Amino acid sequence: MHYEGNIIRPPSESNSILLQVTVGCSHNKCTFCGTYAGERFKIKPDAIIKEDINFAAQYCRRQRRVFLCDGDALIIPMRRLLFILTAIKKELPWVTRVGAYANAKSLKMKTVEELQELRSHGLGILYMGLESGDDVTLKKIKKGASSKTMIAMGRKAKNAGIKLSLTVLLGLAGRSRSLQHAEATGYVLSAIDPDYIGALSLMLIPGTPLNRDYEEGEFTLLNADEMLRELRAMISATHLSHGLFHANHASNYLPIRARLPKDKTSTLELIDKALSGGIELRPEWVRAL
């Protein structure tokens, strides 16, 4: 496989064939993220991608899923995306699902009909970083999209029949807007009604603008209890028809896996128990990105 730079993938794609079709992130401006710092975004040549698919055909016959790396594979023009998906279907006929990262910009560039065509060629799930539903926070972290746009683009993916997984970031608004961030995020999640939600807890990365704000006293990082209170408020404000809410990432203090709305009450009770000291939290030295 021809890998360049940092390769990232969702936790749920840990056993997938990681096919790198782009390098870096098409946005690459979020103040909390240092994954692609200084890296110029590009789409890899078709010949290299095809060569990697052929490699997977020979050496990756046990994996049943493919994940298109890196930061935003959906930004690739339709013709080239269809070429990639067609090659996967032809050379890797045992693969049952292809996944990719997406953002509001790339979803805006595709029509519902185009997304449906991608789905018919094997694209089964998109992962989008919502981060927050609070417009003040979204603007401050330079996400490049408003909550209204996030809702519209998330609904577009859902209307095309593609499964949608959203990521939210606890602690991103700091202490001053913690509750607003939590409740607004719950509202946006409810409006999109995704299949999956993954909540991570903010861990500051040296060299990022947000970390500089922290060092200069302009941003306050939440402690463990504050993160849990924010998580509780977010789950309380989230109303899904039938979705999974995960907060079991290594960055989180309290692992949670809840089917909403069925597990909502028991999950809130679990958080309350942790806040009262009845459950031991994940220690700082174990937490990781």
C-alpha 114/C-alpha 142 separation (Å) is 28
Q: Mean pLDDT over residues 75-93, rounded?
A: 97
Backbone angles phi, psi at 130, to 5 degrees: -75, -45
Three-state DSSP state, 104: helix
Between the two ends of the chain, the Cα-to-Cα distance in Å is: 24
Q: Which two tokens stand for residue 204?
A: 């500051």
At 174-219, the pLDDT tens digits run 999 999 999 999 999 999 999 999 999 999 999 999 999 999 999 9
Q: What angle do CA 114, 107, 233 make, to 5 degrees?
A: 135
Q: Mean pLDDT over residues 10-31, rounded?
A: 94
What is residue 191's predicted lDDT score, i.e. its pLDDT? 98
Give the pLDDT band (50/70/90) at residue 39: confident
- How crowded is residue 194: how many other Cβ atoms within 10 Å of its Cβ? 24
Cβ contacts of 127 within 8 Å, gap of 6 or more: 10, 99, 100, 101, 102, 165, 166, 167
C-alpha 239/C-alpha 197 separation (Å) is 12
What is residue 37's predicted lDDT score, i.e. its pLDDT? 84
Q: Which of 95-99, 242-246, 264-268, 278-282 has the least mean pLDDT?
A: 278-282
Report the topology of domain 11-275: TIM Barrel (3.20.20)
Q: Mean pLDDT over residues 70-99, rounded?
A: 96
Strand bridging mode 42-43 / 22-23: antiparallel
DSSP structure class, residue 26: S
Give the pLDDT band (50/70/90) at residue 69: very high
Q: Mean pLDDT over residues 19-38, rounded?
A: 92
At 227-263, the pLDDT tens digits run 999 999 999 999 999 999 999 888 999 999 999 999 9
What is residue 284's predicted lDDT score, i.e. its pLDDT? 84
* pLDDT exceeds 90 at position 169: yes
How many contiguous H segments (helices) and E segments (strands) does the chain have? 10, 10
What is residue 71's predicted lDDT score, i.e. its pLDDT? 83
* pLDDT exceeds 90 at position 266: yes
C-alpha 204/C-alpha 214 separation (Å) is 8
* Predicted model pTM: 0.95
Q: Which two tokens stand for residue 166?
A: 């959203």
Domains of the chain, by residue range, sit at 11-275
What is the residue-averaged pLDDT of the chain?
A: 95
Backbone angles phi, psi at 220, to 5 degrees: -110, 120
Q: Mean pLDDT over residues 146-162, rounded?
A: 98
* pLDDT exceeds 80 at position 289: no
